[in-house]
Structure 1
Amino acid sequence: MSNDWKTNYHRWVSFAALDTEMKDHLKSIQKDEGALEDCFYKGIEFGTGGMRGEMGPGINRINVYTVRKASEGLARYMSELGTEAKESGVVIIYDTRHKSREFAFEAAKVLGKHGIRVYVFDILCPTPLLSFAVRQLGASAGIVITASHNPPEYNGYKVYGPDGAQITLATAQQLMAKIDEVDDELLVSCEDVSVLKKKGLLKMVGTELMEVYLEQIKNLRVLSNRFSSAADPIRIVFTPLHGTTLKAITQGLNSFGYRYVTVVPEQANPDPDFSAVASPNPEEHQAFELSIQYAKEVDADLIMGTAPDGDRLGAAVKMQDGEFEKTKEFSFQFGYEESNGYLLGDFVRDKNVVQAALIMADVCAFHKARGKTVYDALLELFETYGFHEEGLHSLTFKGKEGIHKIGNIMTLFRSRPLMEVAGKKVIAIEDYLAGTRKDMQTGAVVPLALPTSNVIKVHMEADSWFCVRPSGTEPKLKIYFGVKGDSMKDGQQMLALLKQFVLSYIETA
């Protein structure tokens, strides 16, 4: 495959069998050289998180041809593992986005062409069910077609290993090598679905695995169900944000004994355009605007919203003034990530929103039985450990020029290391690309025992810090902030000053 965008473009437009939609799209932008270059100047990247990007024509977009190419690479990788891996097969699920179901079957058709058994879900189901199904069916791999919480124009392709977890860096590198061997994504061959079914290479999977999955979650309950059936039971507002979790979570809440559950009707049905929500990202407050309206009407104790693919949970609880505040951290011991992904138990090996939602309901019920809210419990933690405030700010830089801009910003932090930030001395700077931590007072440099990544973290005195990294799934630079104050007001003021300083510094790049 050429690195010259014009060569790649002409290869596509001269391909007689090019998909009609792709052909029409290219025709509509044929005079926009900038748009064409962005579609063809490089192949869409495939990493440990798979590939994710805008849909459309070109090698730098998610489309039927790039999906086939990724699947061809996976098929070649599995073929080298041997007959047992091919017979164990691949499980495929998909979310509610445009073309997700189509892409799922395109992947199945390519894998099936290589004699690899494929299981495709015939129902919408959340991402954690893929991890569960891979282990339950003894499959060699899993694929989920999703772009999680990204805007409607995005989609993606993520690969899981036989343990039900996202593939490791070593596996990803082997898989990427096989994908890179595919010279022309337009010429990847695939088999007809009816032929695969006749050969027994394609099996549709239904609700039976969902039932087993929900039964497993019941075993995670730390509390008895006496709180869910108390004299003053909790009232819950839930929104799947037009995604895949409606059935799993409402059915799960019911099995846990929660009867007062209001589903946001405008956001209940699958909708690839996310028509009734400003953002389908449960990390962001605007995702809860409609939920909060319903919560005030029913005097809800808890609001929960999930990412469309069902891997992340956002929660909001009533504060003392009757307003709702979004929370991220729970008082349980379990695995979690900054962007609202949580995991309990080991029968799923990835972020599990269904588990988190059901146990969060138990957390809320437990504290209500104590005469407290979840927000009260959060304040108790702050009083004990300090008033920690964290924030995230994303800067969007699209296209080829955007990549250069992000690169310039990262170079700025490396070439002009800060010694003081918002009135606080810098203690150390960690550069995960170089794999080093530098003490800014002594100049001593020590290695970091973490994987290489294009990330810089700056530590200041008084437990303050910020971290800068390019997003691996969107054309964004993400800046994370953290402070520790003596009070909530103090922490919020410190956070605001830190954000202002860092964003102003970035503007000098």
Structure 2
Amino acid sequence: MELYMKNYEKWVNDSFIDEKTKKELEEIKDNKSEIEDRFYQDLEFGTAGLRGKIGAGTNRMNEYVIARATQAFANVINKHGEDFAKRGIAIAYDCRLFSPEFAKQTALVMAANGIKAYLFESLRPTPELSYAVRYYNCSAGVNITASHNPKDYNGYKAYWQEGSQIKSDIANMILEEISKIESFSEVSIMGENEALKKGLLEYIGKEVDDSYINEVKGVSIRDKELDKSIKIIYTPLNGAGNIPVRRVLSEMGYENVFVVKEQEQPDGTFPTIEYPNPEDLKAFEYAEKLADEVDGELLIATDPDCDRLAVQIRHNGKITPLNGNQTGVILINYILSSLKEKNRIPENPVIVKSIVTGDMGTAIAKDYGVEMINVLTGFKNICALPNEYDKTKEKNFIMGYEESIGYAIGTFVRDKDAVSASLMLAEAAAFYKAQNKTLIDVLNDLFEKYGYYQENTISLVLEGIEGQKRIKRMMEQYREKYPNNIGSSNLMKKIDYEIQISTDISSGKESKIDIEKTDALKFLFDDGCWYALRPSGTEPKIKLYVYSKANTLELAQEKLKEFEKDVLEKLHSIE
């Protein structure tokens, strides 16, 4: 019998599995491909925690997979010592289906293992979970969210004591503990009443909300100087951002905030959109309509767990989107120019970005004497640096950002934060409006000064077992065979992050790179153009990041298209 069938039978016959779940499994008994997809592997616990489709099975998000992962996480926390475990764990959740149930179960498994759970009374944004870990000086945190995945997904993000997501060292310990749990009978769980009575479960809310909101308001640089009459259109995309984003903008005096009614209330079915990702322009359909009705100037959208922010601008009467890189450089330029004017740039200042984020921000930072540091993708890597600086006092972290619309301003949260980014974007837009400029005007000014940077991210979605295998083949074959020239651009350097080697193409000389190992490739050309390839860590896709640079917008766009065409042809040819 195939392993996936053995796993299926084990679940069907396990006395700890409830009847509702068994009925769900009984309904697929004649569908071998569905059984295989649900049971061919355990849903992998990586540095992003767990993420997958909701349903019964080892390769799905459900109460049993969560209970086992939480038992393993509790074991790891307890192995760090009694004093460490006594600090407890903060737990939050977003609007997704079963998020409240999964969060409560996480809390009750932790409680059964002697670890106090601080559980939010209702949904909260991801950055507030990070803040709560720090607020209560917890040893760890968990957020039940699948970020911007489709509605049939949910997830489990694990955090460590600094308030940032766990890195591979802790993830590997949790994985090892998971592997030791052979039966659900080995998972401890406590009743809610008992946990409350023993002080091992505490519901939290307003106190943390107020403290977090005050910290967010503190990122403002020009609060008292601004005319805040700018018309802002906001959509939380039926997620967790509705209350905190609106509260911050209101308390800071932005009274012309119009909320998209159809996407205002939390709803894990996301009734207006197929894919609740604000990077997808379709997510702005309702916001654009409202903007046209009220002559909105700044359009902002946050994803379901409110850690990512997308932006559109009314410019010359037309609504124009900004991508993540462009929003990032506008923020960098506004923050650094404002801090310089007020003589507030700290000593040894740094901004941190991912290896697949564009280079325009680096050029701007350099102008202000600010160091740009590149790390692997993910805010667990970006926020590892302020965690380090807390101890060494060596440098001062100003902000971190990624091309995938994630921004962290300041150090009070150790994850991307769309609440503080919303406030800072509103402030920048209001500031430049007083100069008769939109944020598109500002971007064009930056292009004139630093060169025309263009970019695109293309995702090839390849689902299931065969898709996983093909992504692996693509990475393996592309490592061996890649173009040395694309149009007039000549390859200068290849970086293979899996073997941590940078190769100079003309000399063949290899040098070690000081960055963690990951499955990614980057190709840099002599004219400032480059592209990178990596499998997604959270979704069944391989991602291509393409960047061009030229003296004119037209030439930059032309180069971008050349790169996209050439690389995609080679990828598609790999069966």
Q: Which amino acid aligns with 1:176?
A: L
Contact 1:427 1:439 in 2 (8 A): yes
Match of 1:251 among 225, 247, 253: 247
Partner secondary structure for residue 483 of structure 1:
strand
Write the distance in 1 (CA, Å) between the matches of 2:185 and 2:462.
Answer: 29
Moved more, 44-53 or 135-144: 44-53
Write the distance in 2 (CA, Å) between the matches of 1:124 and 1:228.
Answer: 33
Listed one character per residue, the Cα deviations across residues 244-288 of structure 1 (whole Å, up to 9, x for unaligned) are 010001010001100000000000011111111243112221111
Write the distance in 2 (CA, Å) between the matches of 1:286 and 1:185.
Answer: 42
- For structure 1, the residue ranges without an aligned partner over 5 or more in a row are none
- For structure 2, the residue ranges without an aligned partner over 5 or more in a row are 337-398
What aligned pairs does 1:23-422 form with structure 2 within 5 A after superposition? Answer: 23-185=22-184, 187-229=186-228, 233-327=229-323, 328-329=327-328, 330=331, 331=333, 332-333=335-336, 334-422=399-487
Write the distance in 1 (CA, Å) between the matches of 2:298 and 2:509.
Answer: 48
Listed one character per residue, the Cα deviations across residues 60-83 of structure 1 (whole Å, up to 9, x for unaligned) are 111111101110111111111222
Write the distance in 2 (CA, Å) between the matches of 1:3 and 1:315.
Answer: 49
Structure 2 CA distance for partners of 1:3 and 1:483, relative to 1, 3 Å:
farther
Write the distance in 1 (CA, Å) between the matches of 2:56 and 2:487.
Answer: 45
Shift of 1:28: 2.3
Contact 2:312 2:319 in 1 (8 A): no
Contact 2:94 2:305 in 1 (8 A): yes
Contact 2:491 2:523 in 1 (8 A): yes
Q: Are 2:500 and 1:435 aligned?
A: yes
The normalised TM-score by structure 2 is: 0.85
Q: Which residue of 2 aligns with 1:20?
A: 19
Listed one character per residue, the Cα deviations across residues 282-333 of structure 1 (whole Å, up to 9, x for unaligned) are 2221111211111122111100000110111111112235232224322235
Shift of 1:169: 2.3
Contact 2:66 2:102 in 1 (8 A): yes
Where has structure 1 moved over 6 Å in runs of 4 or more? Answer: none
Q: Which amino acid aligns with 1:469?
A: R
Listed one character per residue, the Cα deviations across residues 436-470 of structure 1 (whole Å, up to 9, x for unaligned) are 11122221111111111010111123111111111
Write the distance in 2 (CA, Å) between the matches of 1:400 and 1:278.
Answer: 24
Partner secondary structure for residue 467 of structure 1:
strand
What aligned pairs does 1:426-505 form with structure 2 within 5 A after superposition? Answer: 426-505=491-570
Write the distance in 2 (CA, Å) between the matches of 1:96 and 1:195.
Answer: 27
Write the distance in 2 (CA, Å) between the matches of 1:186 and 1:339.
Answer: 41
Shift of 1:234: 0.4
Moved more, 388-397 or 316-325: 316-325
Partner secondary structure for residue 323 of structure 1:
strand
Q: Which amino acid aligns with 2:198?
A: K
Q: Which amino acid aligns with 1:320?
A: N
Write the distance in 1 (CA, Å) between the matches of 2:440 and 2:449.
Answer: 14
Listed one character per residue, the Cα deviations across residues 204-234 of structure 1 (whole Å, up to 9, x for unaligned) are 00222111111112222110333144xxx20
Write the distance in 1 (CA, Å) between the matches of 2:129 and 2:27.
Answer: 38
Listed one character per residue, the Cα deviations across residues 456-501 of structure 1 (whole Å, up to 9, x for unaligned) are 1111231111111111111111111100122222222221221121
Structure 2 CA distance for partners of 1:428 and 1:7, relative to 1, 3 Å:
same
Q: Which amino acid aligns with 2:446?
A: L
Write the distance in 1 (CA, Å) between the matches of 2:227 and 2:197.
Answer: 48
Listed one character per residue, the Cα deviations across residues 38-67 of structure 1 (whole Å, up to 9, x for unaligned) are 211111111111111111121111111110
Q: Which amino acid aligns with 1:506?
A: L
Partner secondary structure for residue 300 of structure 2:
strand
Contact 1:225 1:256 in 2 (8 A): no
Moved more, 489-498 or 449-458: 489-498
Write the distance in 2 (CA, Å) between the matches of 1:17 and 1:163.
Answer: 35
Moved more, 499-508 or 410-419: 410-419
Structure 2 CA distance for partners of 1:228 and 1:31, relative to 1, 3 Å:
farther
Write the distance in 2 (CA, Å) between the matches of 1:129 and 1:136.
Answer: 10
Partner secondary structure for residue 272 of structure 1:
coil
Moved more, 75-84 or 152-161: 75-84
Structure 2 CA distance for partners of 1:185 and 1:443, relative to 1, 3 Å:
farther
The normalised TM-score by structure 1 is: 0.96
Q: Which amino acid aligns with 1:369?
A: A
Q: Which amino acid aligns with 2:112?
A: K
Contact 1:131 1:350 in 2 (8 A): yes
Identity, % of aligned pairs?
A: 35
Contact 1:95 1:244 in 2 (8 A): yes
Contact 1:67 1:103 in 2 (8 A): yes
Contact 1:113 1:189 in 2 (8 A): yes
Q: Which amino acid aligns with 2:222?
A: L
Shift of 1:27: 2.1
CA RMSD after TM alignment = 1.6
Write the distance in 2 (CA, Å) between the matches of 1:412 and 1:174.
Answer: 32
Write the distance in 2 (CA, Å) between the matches of 1:314 and 1:98.
Answer: 23
Partner secondary structure for residue 423 of structure 2:
helix
Q: Which amino acid aligns with 1:293?
A: K
Contact 1:241 1:274 in 2 (8 A): yes
Count of paired positions? 505
Contact 1:128 1:351 in 2 (8 A): yes
Write the distance in 2 (CA, Å) between the matches of 1:110 and 1:483.
Answer: 50
Contact 1:422 1:501 in 2 (8 A): no
Structure 2 CA distance for partners of 1:265 and 1:484, relative to 1, 3 Å:
same
Shift of 1:422: 4.2
Write the distance in 1 (CA, Å) between the matches of 2:316 and 2:492.
Answer: 37
Contact 1:66 1:185 in 2 (8 A): no
